[in-house]
Every structure is written in structure tokens, then in C-alpha cells.
Amino acid sequence: MILHPGILALIVGSSIVLMMVIYGSFVGTRVWLSWDFNSSSEEQLVLERKTFLVSSIVRYALAFEVFSILLFISTIDDIHQLFVGAMCATGSLNANPIGWVVLFVKMGILLLAPVWVVLDIFDQKAGDYPLIRAKYVLLQFLTVVVALDLFLVIKYFAGLHPEIITSCCGALFSESGPGVAGEIAALPSAGMMWLFYVTVVFFLATLMFCLLHRAAAARYVLAVLAVMLFFVSIASVISTFSMYIYQLPTHHCPFDMFQGNYSYVAYPIFLGLFSAVFFGFLPGIFQPLKKVTSLEKHIFEAEKKWLVTSGIATILFVTVVSWPVVFSGVELMGY
Amino acid sequence: MRRLLILDYALSSLWRRRYKNFSIIAVFTLTVAVLGSILLLTHSLKMEASEILAGAPDLVVQRMSAGRHDLIPVRYIEEIEKIPGVGAVKSRCWGYYYDALTGSNFTLLGLDETATHEIHLLEGSMPKAEGQCAVGPGVARIRNVKVGDELILIDSTNTGVVFEVVGTFTEESSILTNDLVVFPKDDLVWFFGLPEGRATDITVEVFNESEVSTVAGKIKRMYPDTRPITRREIVQTYDAVFNWRSGMMLTVFLSALIAFSILAWDKATGISAEERREVGILKAIGWDTSDVLELKFWEGTVISLTSFLLGLIFAFVHVFFFGAPLLTPVLKGWSVIFPDFHFTPYIDLYQIAVIGFLTVVPYVASTVIPSWKTAVTDPEEVMRS
Amino acid sequence: MKEPAEALIWTEDVTKVYNPRLPDEVRAVDRVSVTIDRGDVAVLKGPSGSGKTSLLSLIGCMSRPTSGRIFVDGRDVAKLSESLLTAIRRETFGFIFQQYNLVPDASVLENVLLPLYPVGLRPSEMKQRANRILEGLGIENRRRLKVRKLSGGEQQRVAIARALVNEPDIIVADEPTAHLDRQRSADLLRVLEDLNMQGKTIIIATHDAQVYDHVFVTRTIEMGDGRVEAERLS
């Protein structure tokens, strides 16, 4: 265990977040167990007011949780010099492989938490609380994930022993490296680039189609494409675009670009990617809910905004990753 | 637009209750300032240390005897020099000296004629001839000597020895040189009464950085009684020590954080009858629960941001302009002579994020339930009062 | 009885019980069915404790009935969530309370603008509206003053201005003359009469004869013990 201010902040912050979410989930469960919207009793009114408490708590908690991902990445980046052979955040993760699990759990929260908030917003807008049960069941699941996250974070940092010799990102994300990470990095860049741009074009085309037509199938296709876009983009950022960003044919680490040396370019990249995927994914998830009368109007209204946001985010993301390819003058297609 | 209007109302509402809000901002600011000072200071120390260590030898070889550090035979140098990839190999003589007069510890260093220490001198020169010495700013201050004065030290046979001070180091180098006294090597050997052919340790230059550990392994095999220490290990140790110290202080500080949260909770819960009535009015004339929650959100944001910025500024000034006088005694530990710290100011987003996470999260967590309680005030209440 | 959609306000067997199943249970409104048409000046008349204020808050979408139905402008509001009730209250009603219920340390202008904050109009439009109304009530030169510094009559006007700023169809006033002398009461009634002429429906709960005997009253609902004892058109 390393006593480091960032680690302390993560553990203290996440513990508070967990307490908030547990409390919210507890209140939420009590609310939906005795929920009876047709009753005009005082108890029902109290329950309705409690939904605001749950919303308020969970929204703050989830905002902190999302913020904690950035803090986590910055922290593992800051402590990498404690490990022999580690040159960036990847090294810190390799020093205790649970770190990778933490990263994936946090990414899951990053996508799941906003879904909860959107459900919550609709539930409040509808006026007859059609999603109350769905919302609080999902909250229970989220609580488990947040608890798991804290547990893994503690386990990860507790299991870090600074004397461990780690392979740095050069070894992990270089073509000859073993495992999935190495394979991703080894993907041929020309092919990867093709796949990337084709996916983007398909995604944007479907998005346009959804904007113009109300077909349900298009929404589901878009959701699937959004998931594809997510994985294809991450793979191509690691395998191809990173080389242009670092201007090195052998450097593929996805964490270095969070640093000031690369003008924090990772933030627009991953923020753009996450918004594009998230808002592209939403219409598909909410398609079945259009059957609820009190929601239909609101969903149609919001859907337009989601599609437009997703489109803009996609364009932003694609522009930022393509920029160095077009303008850096580095010729790396051969690698 | 709606958001801005509610923010506007939040501001005027905070201003109307400025005396009450002032206390929470003051405590919040203090919390951030203390926390910020700890982080900024330890981080500066860390940076300072790593800057100094950048000029340190790649490898230091010590001799171990009975599990303790012992003097190393100078003849080891010849064998080490033969290892491929190794550059200059030198012996170093240094030690500690307890100055009974002032009750402080000095570090005494023997200077090799060939050594090229890049230490800035404020005044005078490095000692060259017998009986000369140069002193660090801390030593100069505590013994009240300057260039041209005499420094009397007691040697191992309890005899006073007079040295002439020919130079004093500048304050800029003080973290390294503060308690330092430099002599020609022979003077030091004689002063400490070191046996012939022995040195304190041996420094090794390695051309290729990635071969340092290989060389270290070879030396260890060659001389099993030695302990090679790489620069990286020293950097890591420093890092770990500073992380540990600031972590320790933060942990101690957590109790203060809890006290702060309780205060925030208390302030948020104990809303006055007047404030409660105001929210009742808002609810009655068309504000929704979510609008009041938003109002509370903005109030919290304004309070947090104000306190946070103020606290950061205080921490910044405290550490970088005054050298953290309130914290250095705790952080620096054993030595009686403290260097006067003058750190290079820097702004690090990561540090700010850490401070933010440690202070804003508890504050929000302790105000969220009271805010909600206020927000669900029954609109009908104002009709029946 | 009219159909719910035709009347502006229509209630059927509305009951409101406070603290149900507790020792201090109060049946404040008991199976009340009333109708108020667009353009009415309706008076809820009765001694204190007769359920006027409770009925007023039910009609004004401040609270939900324990049972029964309430239609406002053709919309069933008895079973709406609090947030939707708030939205209707904000769009349809302007409230004048017994003790003004102003924020004493805020300025006149700020008090008048309060109901508009959650609506999200442009600030220039909001100010324009407020100024027009304050001018109409003759207190535009008091705009920047704190409410605390105003006289009782002026505070009453600020309260009226606040009730009007969201351009409601219905003005609800609870004992508006309780703290006013005869002269000021007459002034207030003149203002309300003007508003009625402009097409606003006015609902007043009162036990002041100066109000319920006024000529502009079109509908009197007499209450006692939570029930309607008599209903009269004039």
C-alpha cells in the first residue's frame, strides 16, 4: 500500500460516494416497495418527495464517480515512477493487474451512470412516474458496481508494491508484446484506419436516417453501431492514431496522451468518443419506452437532441484524431 | 436562461445571509488552505529532491558489515572500473558531525581534487588548501560565520581544530547544502581518523541507463559484502518517503475534514425560520422542488468555489512566498538546521483535483440531505401560517 | 351541474383530511362540489376554521385532495405529481396571501420577479413586465427599495404585483383585507375589480363583509365545518 495523496483522495472520495449511493438505494427501495401512485395519501406524497432526495444524492454521487475516473488515471500516472521499468500509467496498472479491472469497471460506470440520470429525468418529466421501479432496480445494480469499484480500487492500491519490476507501456503496447494489448497494438494500421472510417461513416449515416425517420429498427442498428464504434475507436486509437499523436512508430500507450506534453489531447478524444457512443446508444435503449404514453412526447423531443449531440461529438472526435494524420506530415502507413 | 436566473437568485440569497455564510466559507477556506499547503509543500520537496538527484551518481556502492554500513576499501575501484559500460569510478568520504555547541548535525564532505561539483557559491571559493572549508547557509547562520572567519570543530580525539571559511553556499542550493561543510579530502580523512585505503562509499558512472541494474548485479557478485544502490532506487525512496509523509499528514488531517463536514451539515440543517419561510414562499408561487434543489446546488457551488479558490491562494502564498513556515517543522523531521525554502511556484491541475476531491466531496455529501429537506417544504405551509 | 370541461374550476366531492388516522385528524374539506366560471369573482365566505383556506389551496393546486376530483381549465389535477401541480400553479394562478409573504430583505423588483425565475424568460422581458405592473399599481419608484422598508399598503401592492407577473388567468386571494383599514381595503377591492374587468377570474376567501358584500362579487360560496352550506349567484 502506498500512502499517496491521490490514492487517499480516491479512497476517501469513493467511500463517501458509496455511502451516498447505498443510502440513496436504500431510500429508493423503500419508496418503490410502498409505491402506489393512485393513492392520494400523505404517505404517497412523502414517497414522491423522497424520490427527489434519491435523485439528488445519486446525481451528485455519480458526478463524483465520473470525475474519479480522471483522478484514477492521473493518479496511476503520477505513481508510475515508483515502479521499476514503468514509464507511464500502463506500468502502474501492470504492477497489479487488478488495476485493469478497475479501469474497466470505471468505464462501465461512466456509461451506466448517465443512463440512470436520463431515466431519472424522464421519470420526473412524465408526471406519473412510469419508470420508478426500473429506475430503482437499476440503482441497486449501480450500487453493487460502485461498491465493487471501491473494493477493487482498495485491492489494487493495497496490492501495489513499489519494488515490483513492471513492463512499461512500450512493452505492453508494442507489437511484439504478449496478450490482448499487444495484439491491439499490432493491428495493421492501414486496415484499422479503413475499418475506423467505414464504421464512422456507417454510424453517421444511420444517425442521419434516425433524424429523418421514426423507424424503430434504425435506432437498434444505431445502438449496435455505437457499441462497435466504441471498440473500433479504442482499438484504432491504440494501434494507429497514437503513433501519429506521439510521432513514434512504436509508442501506443493510451494514457500518455492525458499528459500536458501532448496538450491533453486525450480529453477531447475520449470525451468526444464517450459522448458520441453514449448519445448514439440512448435512442435504442429508450425505443421500447416510447410505448409509455406519458413518456412518448418527451422521448421524441430528447431523441433529436441526443442524435444531434452524438453527431457533433463524433465529428469532433474524428477531427481530433485525424488531425495529426493529415497535418503532422509523419508518414507511418508502412508500420 | 433558467439556470442563470436561479444562479442569480442564489447569489443574492447568499449575499442576504452573508454573515451566516461567511463562517462556513472561512472554515472551508482554512480546510482547503491547510490541505493545499501540505500537498504543494510535499510536491515541491519531491521535485526539489528529484532535481538534485538528477545530478547524483548512477550507482553508489557501499560496504556492509554485520548488516551495517561500513567503510569500503578503495581498491574495489580498480575491479569495478573493468566492468564493461562503466565510466568514472570514484571514492567519496563524508560523514556526520554532531555540533555540541549548537546541538545540531552537520554533514561533512571531503572534496576530491578532481571532483566537479556543480554547487553554486555565493561568496568565496571551494576549499583547496589544507585547513580550508566551505559551509552551507544553515551552518553559516547557526555558527555565525562568514567568508574569512574561522570555524572550530572538535575531532575524534576531542581536540578543537580550526578551519578557515573560504566560501559559503547560496540559499538556492540550500536543500542540498544547508547543513554541509566541505573540506579537502585529506583534511576530512584526518579529521575523522579514517583508516588508510578506506572511503565512505564509491560512486560509479554507467553510460547506458538500462544497464545500471546489470552493473549493480555484477558488482554484488564480485564483492558480496557490498550494497550497490541505483539512483532510481534513491528517487523512489524519496518519492515514497514524501508521499508517505504527506499521506500521513493528510490522514491526521482527515479528522479535521470530518469536523468540517459536521459543521457544514450543521449549518445546512440549522436553517433559520426566516429562510424556511422564504423557501415556502418560493414553493407557493411556483418554484418546483427541483428548482429549489437547483438553487441549493448553486449556493453550494458558489460557496465551494469561493472557498476553494481562496484556500488555494492562501496555500500558494503560504508555501511559495513564505516557505511554508507553519508546516516545515512537521515535514522535515530530524535536522535542527532547516533550510529556508524558496520553491519555484507551479500550478498542477492534478494537485488541485486531489484537493478538490478531498474537500468538495465531503462538503456536498454533508449538505445534500439538509438541502433536500429544505426543498420539499410544503407549499401549502405559507397559506396556513 | 356543468361538465368539468366547461367550467374554469370544477370540483366533485373533494375531501381533504390532514393527519389521517392520527389523534389530531382534521377533515378540513368535506365532500365539496363547486363550480367557478371564467370571469367570475367568487367569494369563499365563512368563519375561520370553516375550510376556506384549505379549499383555496386545493383549487390553487397547492395540495392534493385526499379524495374527489378537481378540474382546472378542463384538466384533472387531483392526481398529478407535485411537479406538474407546480407547473399548473405557476401558469394559471396568481396568489395574494394573508400576510403578503414577501421576502423582506430582497428588493421590490426581486420579489415581483420571483415567480418568473423558474420559467426562464429573457431578463429584459422579465423586467419590462414587472415594471409595467409596478407602474400600474403606482409603486414603480419603490422598485429598488427593500420590501422591509415599505409601508403595509405598499407591501400589499408588491404582493399583488407578484401575483400578476406570471400573467395568470385566476387570482387567488386569502383574506386579503385582514391587515388593512377600510380605506386601504377599498383600494385593494378597486384593484381587484380592475383585474376582473381585464378578464381575470378572481377567487377570494374572506370573512370581511366589505369584501363579500361588494357589488362585483358574482358568486358566493358559504362554508362551515369544511362543507358548502350555501352557494349563490348574484
Q: What are the extents of the domains in chain B?
A: 2-52+242-384, 57-230
Q: Find the residue in B nearest to A19 (Cα).
A: B365
B285 interaction partners in chain C (CB closer than 8 Å): 90, 95, 114-115, 162
Asked whether residue A204 carries a pLDDT value surpassing 70, the answer given is yes
3-state secondary structure labels for all residues of B139-181:
HHHHHCCCCCCEEEEECCCCCEEEEEEEEEECHHHHHHHCCEE
- Model pLDDT, residue A320: 87
The residues pairing with C222 across neighbouring beta strands, listed in sequence order, are: C45, C230
Q: Dig out the grid coordinates for B66 from the structure.
A: 554485520
B254-267 per-position pLDDT tens digit:
777 777 877 777 77
Asked whether residue A159 carries a pLDDT value surpassing 80, the answer given is yes
- Model pLDDT, residue B212: 78
- Model pLDDT, residue A237: 83
Q: Find the residue in A nearest to B362 (Cα).
A: A16
CA B94, B95, B100, B102: dihedral to nearest 10 degrees?
Answer: 60
Instruction: Report which of residues A182 and B94 the model is more confident about.
Output: B94
Backbone angles phi, psi at A118, to 5 degrees: -65, -45
B293 interaction partners in chain C (CB closer than 8 Å): none
Decide if B2 touches C, using CB distance below 8 A: yes
- Touching subunits of C (3+ CB pairs, under 8 Å) are A, B
- Model pLDDT, residue B331: 58
Q: What is the mean pLDDT of chain A?
A: 83
- Model pLDDT, residue B330: 62
Name the residue among B243, B247, B362 with its Cβ closest to that of A16.
B362
- Model pLDDT, residue A41: 76
Find where cell 443512463 sits: A115
Q: What is the mean pLDDT of chain B?
A: 81
- For chain A, what percent of residues have pLDDT higher than 70? 86
Q: Find the residue in C nearest to B1 (Cα).
A: C120
Amino acid identity, position C82:
E
CB-CB contact of A11 with B255 (8 Å): no
Q: Which of C92, C134, C132, C90 is nearest to C111 (CA)?
A: C134
C-alpha distances in Å from residue B346, one per residue of A260, B200, B317: 14, 37, 11
CA A89, A90, A94, A95: dihedral to nearest 10 degrees?
Answer: -20
CB-CB contact of C57 with C203 (8 Å): no
* Contact pairs from chain A to chain B, CB under 8 Å: 98
- Model pLDDT, residue B342: 63
Average pLDDT over residues B74-85: 83
A75-123 per-position pLDDT tens digit:
888 887 777 666 677 778 878 888 889 988 998 898 889 999 999 999 8
Is A124 close to C83, i.e. CB distance below 8 A? yes
Decide if B239 touches A, using CB distance below 8 A: yes
Q: Dig out the grid coordinates for A18 from the structure.
A: 458509496
Asked whether residue B54 carries a pLDDT value surpassing 90, the answer given is no
- What single-letter DSSP state applies at residue C146? B
Quote the minimal CA–CA distance from B267 to chain C in Å: 20
The residues pairing with B182 across neighbouring beta strands, listed in sequence order, are: B109, B134
- Touching subunits of B (3+ CB pairs, under 8 Å) are A, C
Helices marked H in chain C: 52-59, 82-92, 108-113, 123-136, 152-164, 182-197, 209-212
Structure confidence at residue B22 as a pLDDT band (50, 70, 90) = confident
B254 interaction partners in chain A (CB closer than 8 Å): 12
Quote the minimal CA–CA distance from C82 to chain A in Å: 8
A231-247 per-position pLDDT tens digit:
888 888 887 787 777 77
B281 interaction partners in chain C (CB closer than 8 Å): 101-103, 114
Asked whether residue A308 carries a pLDDT value surpassing 90, the answer given is yes
B280 interaction partners in chain C (CB closer than 8 Å): 101
- Model pLDDT, residue A170: 46
* Contact pairs from chain A to chain C, CB under 8 Å: 24
B247 interaction partners in chain A (CB closer than 8 Å): 2-5, 7-8
Is C118 close to B291, i.e. CB distance below 8 A? yes
Asked whether residue C1 carries a pLDDT value surpassing 70, the answer given is no
Q: Find the residue in A nearest to B289 (Cα).
A: A52
- Model pLDDT, residue A249: 66
Collapse the DSSP code of B199 into the 3-class scheme (helix H, G, I; strand E, B; otherwise coil) and give the result. strand
CB-CB contact of B132 with B207 (8 Å): no
Decide if B5 touches C, using CB distance below 8 A: yes
Average pLDDT over residues C126-135: 91
C99 interaction partners in chain B (CB closer than 8 Å): 385
- With a CB-CB cutoff of 8 Å, which residues 31-50 of chain A face chain C? 37-38, 40-42, 45, 48-49
User: First and final CA of chain C: distance in angstroms?
Assistant: 17
Asked whether residue C229 carries a pLDDT value surpassing 70, the answer given is yes
Q: Which range scores top for mean pLDDT: A51-55, A259-263, B97-101?
A: A51-55
C-alpha distances in Å from residue C75, one per residue of B116, B182, C5: 91, 93, 8
Name the residue among A37, A42, A48 with its Cβ closest to that of C82.
A48
The half-sphere exposure of A262 on its side-chain side, counting CA atoms within 13 A, is 23
CB-CB contact of B199 with B72 (8 Å): yes
Q: Which of B200, B136, B130 is nearest to B161 (CA)?
A: B130
- Model pLDDT, residue A162: 66
Backbone angles phi, psi at C144, to 5 degrees: -90, -10
- Model pLDDT, residue A222: 92
What does the alpha-carbon distance between residue A58 and residue C50 come to, in Å, rounded to a whole number?
Answer: 43
